[in-house]
Structure 1
Amino acid sequence: MVFGIVISIVIVQRLFELLIARRNEKWMMSQGAFEAGATHYPIMVGMHILFFISLLVEVFFFNRQLSPIWTILLTFFLIAQVLRVWCLASLGKFWNTKIIVLPNAEVVRKGPYKWIRHPNYTIVATELLVLPLMFNAFFTAVLFTLLNCWMMTVRIPAEEKALKEATNYTEEFLLNK
């Protein structure tokens, strides 16, 4: 019961975020933005879809039960959701699931972006670990934590390269430490 409720809410949330991303992408492209890292994006999307499939399979087919510490893990997950919304709100029209860069735009330095360059990636990593652990889905937790680490070794450099080349990213984040 708890699993069905949680997974349904998360999936609906992700679908809603994709609608926001699509709207933001259209606006940014109309302003002259470009996409970077397009070759890895389908792999990342596939990884996230497989995460949900793996979680569903592991919980239902292997009859995983709630963790004895599920309330603690749920608390971490809910905090991550609040931080996720904070990231999206801080970036506003610049938030996207793709790497969409508007040349000559000033990078966002508010909200969690005051303190950390990629807070949303930290939140995603937390979710990919905590959500499966809530339901004792250890295989999914380990596999997708490792896959996400690998994906971030591709994605973050691609994003930073695009931002350095087209915005004031270097001045804001690398020179003003």
Structure 2
Amino acid sequence: MSFFVTVYTVVVAQRLLELALARRNARHILAAGGREVGAEHYKYIVTLHVLFLVSLLAEGLLHEGRTAPWWAWTFSVFALAQGLRYWCIVSLGKRWNTRIYILPGSEPVRRGPYRFLRHPNYLVVSIELLVLPLTFSAVVTAVVFSLANFWLLWRVRIPAEERAVYDRP
């Protein structure tokens, strides 16, 4: 049980620290004349992630925090995804955020993983929502939230970001 509780606690702490970083970065972007787009769907992103954490905790505790037989593989993929997450954060610098902010006159970032993918952080989130629950046999959480995230990203979030970042005059 302690491995599950430790991992869960670290993930929650990581998310809270990222929200603090996002707020700080938002203040910087807004002070520089930036603006937020897509705010109307942000509540759904937050709800998805909060419900994911609740579901992971519930299903993890239901399984008494036991790791799955394949846990070493899924947890390794999760750990690699964390490396990609921080590469994204460092590459975007003060422009990294959990919301979509546009800074007038700025070009899209094309360094770090953004040289290869337009939305590498969404890849990280997709990987996490699948493999972290599978590490602890939380198959229902993995399937439900992976599908919900896929729909939210591809039907709502990514189109909003594409319009804001790449379709600007």
TM-score (norm 2): 0.95
For residues 6-17 of structure 1, what are the structure 2 equivalents within 5 Å? 6-17=7-18
Shift in Å at residue 60 of structure 1?
1.1
Shift in Å at residue 103 of structure 1?
1.4
TM-score (norm 1): 0.91
Q: Give, as a single letter, the amino acid of the residue that structure 2 aligns with 1:107.
A: P
For residues 106-125 of structure 1, what are the structure 2 equivalents within 5 Å? 106-125=107-126
For residues 135-146 of structure 1, what are the structure 2 equivalents within 5 Å? 135-146=136-147
Q: Give, as a single letter, the amino acid of the residue that structure 2 aligns with 1:37.
A: G
Does the CA-based 8 Å contact 1:28-1:102 persist in structure 2? yes
For residues 88-107 of structure 1, what are the structure 2 equivalents within 5 Å? 88-107=89-108
RMSD of aligned alpha carbons: 1.1
Give the Cα–Cα distance (whole angstroms) in 2 for the partners of residues 161 and 44 of structure 1: 18
Give the Cα–Cα distance (whole angstroms) in 2 for the partners of residues 9 and 103 of structure 1: 36
The residue that corresponds to 1:75 in the other structure is 76
Listed one character per residue, the Cα deviations across residues 88-119 of structure 1 (whole Å, up to 9, x for unaligned) are 00000000000011111011110000011000
Shift in Å at residue 165 of structure 1?
4.1
Give the Cα–Cα distance (whole angstroms) in 2 for the partners of residues 120 and 90 of structure 1: 11
The residue that corresponds to 1:48 in the other structure is 49
Structure 1: gaps spanning 5 or more residues:
168-177
Structure 2: gaps spanning 5 or more residues:
none
Deviating beyond 6 angstroms after TM superposition, the runs of 4 or more aligned structure 1 residues are none
Does the CA-based 8 Å contact 1:36-1:101 persist in structure 2? yes
The residue that corresponds to 2:162 in the other structure is 160
Give the Cα–Cα distance (whole angstroms) in 2 for the partners of residues 76 and 119 of structure 1: 15
Give the Cα–Cα distance (whole angstroms) in 2 for the partners of residues 162 and 10 of structure 1: 29
Q: Percent identity?
A: 49
Q: 1:26 to 1:155 in 2, by over 3 A?
A: same
Give the Cα–Cα distance (whole angstroms) in 1 for the partners of residues 89 and 168 of structure 2: 21
Shift in Å at residue 73 of structure 1?
1.1
- Kindly tell me the number of residue pairs found equivalent between the two proteins: 167
